[in-house]
Amino acid sequence: MPAVRLPTHVPNTVMRAETALLRATMGLPEPVQRRLAGRPVVVDGQTLATDLQLMLRLQRLAREAGAEELPLDRGRRSIVRHATVSGGRQPIGAVRDLQAGGRPARLYTPTRPTSGPLLLFLHGGGFMYGDLESHDAACRFLAEQSDVRVLAVDYRLSPEHRFPAAYDDAQAAFRWAVDHAGDLDADPERIAVGGDSAGGNLAAGVAIEAARSGLPCPWQLLIYPFVDARAETESRRLFGAGFYLTSDFIDLSDATYPEPGMDLRDPRLSPLHADLPAGVAPAYVATAGFDPLRDEGETFAAKLRTAGVDVELRRFEDQIHGFLNIVGVGRSSRAANLEIAHTIRAQLVPQVP
């Protein structure tokens, strides 16, 4: 299939055309996708989802540069463009922009909101990329499909703001949400925290500090979290190239977010090295089979479980890092995200006998 490389910043008409092409391709019957994608990709006993294999192939044919290969401003726009194209325009009851702990935030209220629970969401992006727009479709999807309000927070990014800026912003946003629960139509005892990748790192840090300081936090959602800045795992070796998140991206994050010379085992940076206090919130840890961060996320789940935390670990074996943002095209990632949304509902919405 011919592909044309698009510039990082493209007119809306071009983006709409790109979105339509990707949606059509990702919506083809699986046997057709298989013929276009090529032989199945099997690594570590796992088979990559056909629609994702095809999407990655199209990106290679288009010679699409990764964000880490671009100047910072272009890389940030590229991340938002990819998320917009793959996320589509998801339905939601209402959206309100506000400030949370001094940072821009966005409150997503589903069409059928459940009174009480709220999920504070922290986006991924290697601490360098991402904002309210990059995860807008994902937050809309999770809120609408779970019937739970979602509050997304736009924390400070590196290299302009290095460690511990993002950590401090996440802590401040959670404390603000608890203190202003009434303004969010939420119960301060039922404010959970979640995030993906770097956001999963920050969410884990919020849950740990909440337990240490006595703040209520009933649950944490960690989606392919980055939890160890010193990790040298088999999944990083196996999946460091060709599956969206690359070793080069991780290396750039490691070079720009931590302060030079700091101890990379600092638990505010690497939650895997934290001394866990009593009362850490129950956790749902989602990992992707074809993700460099897979093994450290699963090791962190084991650490939580050993500390007495109630943990549900779910590996989506056929998925790649970033699947949370793929809710507008294809089938496999949307199905995974629907499962996550249903888990949010099951954990935070009271069940009627």
| Annotated catalytic residue 51 | no
- Catalytic residue, chosen from 147, 169, 228, 291, is 291
DSSP conformation letters of 90-119 = ---SEEEEEEETTEEEEEEE-SSPPSEEEE
DSSP conformation letters of 248-310 = HHHHHHHHHSSPTT--TT-TTT-GGG--PPTTPPPEEEEEEEE-TTHHHHHHHHHHHHHTT--
Q: CA 349, CA 306: separation in Å to the nearest integer?
A: 27
| Annotated catalytic residue 321 | yes
- Catalytic residue, chosen from 197, 253, 332, 333, is 197
CA angle (314, 336, 76) in 5-degree steps: 105
CA angle (263, 304, 157) in 5-degree steps: 45
- Catalytic residue, chosen from 82, 123, 135, 321, is 321
What's the token pair of residue 217? 């936090």
Compute φ and ψ for 302, nearest 5 degrees: -65, -40
| Annotated catalytic residue 197 | yes
Catalytic site residues?
197, 291, 321
